[in-house]
Amino acid sequence: MSDAHDQPRALYPTGLISFNGQPAVHLRSPNGAQATILLHGAHVVSWIPAGHEEQLYLSPETKYGDSAAVRGGVPVIFPQFNQQGPLPKHGFARNRAWQVQEAQVRGEHAFAVLTLSDDEATRAIWPHAFTLEMTVSVDDRRLEMELAVLNTGETTIEFQAALHTYLGCGDVRHAQLEGLLDQNYHDAVLDQPRQQWIDVVTIAQEIDRIYWNAPKELTLRETGRRLLIQSHAFDDVVVWNPGPEKCAALPDMPDDDWLQMLCVEAAQIGDRVRLAGGQEWAAMQTLVIAD
């Protein structure tokens, strides 16, 4: 006989909520961990571990709406990273309305499953059949985000993907990102290949790097916080902060908010995924409060 805690029970609050005027799913685990996911883009905009404060950055000046790309949280990047192809920047998944398939509590976890399938608008710019599935789960001090891609057509598809995670920081100049020693990366600021020759990455100005074949666990340290950043089946890691000058030029972000965030993104960029008809690919990023 299964334990009662293993059985699904209604999520509280039940159904959709409104987040800044947008439909969203709110998750709350039995131990108090919370997350909020917009239906627009399956975009995680909040993660509050049990007994802790908000861990993600979300710009107070971001725009919301049908064509808006939300500044902060965890944008879903598919099928193109940045401007590495003919599609709009970072593809179209982050700007589409997703469907909620599940939102419930099971045991100590609260989770939601959202999906996006091709339609006339996506096929007009990317002529392929697909279904994306985004699964978001919270439990105590952990946030898990899994992106799955199913090729529902007959022809092979090729794509890039990423979870463009904006981590909140008290002051990014005092933060340290550990675990990238000896890793090769592309420095987009300098537009040249480089190698990480010290273990700790610190931020004092603009940084825009793609680390190739990166380690599967990194650590972000700040005073009073140690955050583990884990990935599965994503090969690459992007580290990005606009720095003071570019931040001041962004229309959807306060001038000094570059100090409040650091993007550490789980990504599949260098080796694009190829899926034959009927094949599926899935990858995950997990954030864990360690201290």
Question: What CATH number has the domain bearing residue 156?
Answer: 2.70.98.10
Chain center to CA of 287: 10
Tell me whether residue 164 is one of the annotated catalytic residues: yes
Tell me whether residue 144 is one of the annotated catalytic residues: no
Structural domain count of the chain: 1
**Digits of tens for pLDDT over the chain (291 positions)?**
233 333 333 344 446 899 999 999 999 999 999 999 999 999 999 999 999 999 999 999 999 987 889 999 999 999 999 999 999 999 999 999 999 999 999 999 999 999 999 999 999 999 999 999 999 999 999 999 999 999 999 999 999 999 999 999 999 999 999 999 999 999 999 999 999 999 999 999 999 999 999 999 999 999 999 999 999 999 999 999 999 999 999 999 999 999 999 999 999 999 999 999 999 999 999 999 997
228, 234, 236, 242 alpha-carbon torsion, rounded to 10° = -60
Which residues have C-beta within 8 Å of that of residue 156, sequence separation ≥ 6?
274, 275, 276, 277
Phi and psi angles of residue 260, each rounded to the nearest 5 degrees, phi first: -100, 5
Tokens standing for residue 216: 């599967």
In whole angstroms, give the CA distance from residue 285 to residue 71.
Answer: 19
In whole angstroms, give the CA distance from residue 61 to residue 45.
Answer: 14
In 3D space, the residue among 145, 188, 135 whose CA is nearest the CA of residue 166 turns out to be 145
Measured from the Cβ of residue 195, the count of other Cβ atoms closer than 10 Å reads 10
The most distant pair of C-alpha atoms in the chain lies apart, rounded to whole Å, by 61
Rg (CA), the chain: 19
pTM score: 0.94
Note whether 265 and 207 are within 8 A (CB): no
Domain that holds residue 278: 4-289
Catalytic residue among 164, 174, 186, 217: 164
In whole angstroms, give the CA distance from residue 163 to residue 158.
Answer: 17
214, with CB counted inside 10 A (0-12, 13-18, 19+), is buried
In whole angstroms, give the CA distance from residue 209 to residue 192.
Answer: 10
